[in-house]
Amino acid sequence: MTSLTSLKLVAAKRSNGLPVIQQRRQRLSAKITLQLRLAQAQTDGKPLGIIIKRTITDPVTGSQKVIETTKSANPWWFVTDTGQVCLNVKYGSKAIELAKGKTAIELASLDDIAPTLDIIQKAVDAGELDAQLEIVSKTLRAGFKKKA
């Protein structure tokens, strides 16, 4: 028991995980990173090939094996009828309202997508969009409730 007396013993409890808002920030930040990769691929003129690994079970033998497959991603930007490039920031399937009644950012050209996404990612990491994330997540969750 003399070995343990040299150590500093404390009564500590491990937290159960990140707060919900931190999880939402990380989820949105990961999606922004995906959009940055998509914008870079479009600028380079290459298709975006996001390779993910999946575990499948062989129906004949019952053994599991890991395969690599590509994942598709839809861009958040679009060109309007007037030729303007607009960028939405989406959480799930919903566009986030960045200002009262405004969900899109107007850009001068397609080259401005990556710098704009960098600015948005910094804002997300700093917690500037927490209120908007809360609103849009409530809207998304309301769609999953059972109707009586």
Confidence of residue 28 (pLDDT cuts 50, 70, 90): very high
Instruction: Locate all alpha helices (DSSP H) within the chain, ordered by sequence.
Output: 2-5, 20-44, 113-126, 130-142
pLDDT-derived band at 33, boundaries 50, 70, 90: very high
Residue 116 lies in a domain: yes
Asked if the structure places residue 88 within a domain, the reply is yes
Model confidence at 87: pLDDT above 90: yes
Is there a domain that residue 124 lies in? yes
105 or 2, which is more confident: 105
Total count of domains within the chain: 1
pLDDT of res. 107: 92
Task: Examine residue 64 and state whether it is found in any structural domain, yes or no.
Answer: no
Q: Which of 53, 57, 26 is nearest to 121 (CA)?
A: 26
- Has residue 138 been placed in a domain? yes
Residue-range definition of the domain harbouring residue 27: 19-46+73-142
- Residue 115: pLDDT over 90: yes
Contacting residues for 103 by C-beta, under 8 A, at least 6 apart: 88, 89, 95, 96, 97
- Tell whether 62 is covered by a domain: no
